[in-house]
Amino acid sequence: MNEATIGWDNFFVAEAGAAAALAGLLFVAASINLKRILEFPTLPTRLAEALCVLLSVLVLSTFSLVPRQPMHAYALEILGTGGVFWLLQTLALVRTRPDDKHHSGPIAMVSRILLNQAPPITIAVAGARLLAGHANGIFWLVPATLTAFAAGLFGAWVLLIEIQR
């Protein structure tokens, strides 16, 4: 445990469990609707995107629970997690955007971009703040996990409910 994560154990244990449970929900959604998902060119990538955002919470929670690691190493882990998942999410967004007919309006497009980009960016901000020596950077992981869960739940909704329309 380093000084930034003191007192945060329960939060990260809860977030890891919630992320794993939501990822399981997505796997169930995919298995139930696999044939239908494969009928749409954007949905397999949207599934991967939703799984990635939940996996990012699982990864950052795991790094946060490592005992007695140096602050510098922890900050780099969080910053790297944000960067890697930002790249993955951006590639998914770019890949699906030209074919995504369901998100053609400006409000739908903005919400899609926000759900895609907010989680990894806030994770990266947390890591950058921690790397700069600001222990309060860890507070950025709260909106990161909340937006990740929102994105994951939205992905599950699309893959379970909206796909049936």
Q: What is the pLDDT along the chain (165 residues), one digit of tens a residue?
A: 566 778 899 999 999 999 999 999 888 888 988 899 898 888 898 899 999 999 999 999 999 999 999 999 999 999 999 999 999 999 988 887 656 555 567 777 788 888 889 999 999 999 999 999 999 999 999 999 999 999 999 888 888 887 877
What pLDDT score was predicted for residue 54? Answer: 95
- The predicted pLDDT at position 102 comes to 56
Cβ within 8 Å of residue 53, ≥6 positions away = 85, 89, 116, 119, 120, 148, 151, 152, 155
Which residue is associated with the tokens 């947390």? 126
Buried b (16+ CB within 10 A) or exposed e, 90-116: eebbebbeeebeebeeeeeeeebeebb
Residues in the chain: 165
Q: What local confidence, expressed as pLDDT, does residue 91 receive?
A: 92
* Whole-number CA gyration radius for the chain: 16
pLDDT value for 146: 96
Instruction: Look at residue 98 in the predicted model and tell me its pLDDT.
Output: 58
CB hemisphere CA count around 83 (13 angstroms):
8
pLDDT value of residue 33 = 87
pTM, entire model: 0.88
User: Nearest to residue 27, comparing CAs of 146, 150, 159?
Assistant: 159
For 10, 17, 50, 108, the CA distances from 155, given in Å and listed in that order, are 26, 18, 5, 14
- How far apart CA 158 and CA 67 sit, in angstroms, is 38
pLDDT attached to residue 41: 84
**123 DSSP 8-state letter:** H
Q: Given CA atoms 25, 26, 31, 34 in this order, what sign does their dihedral have?
A: positive
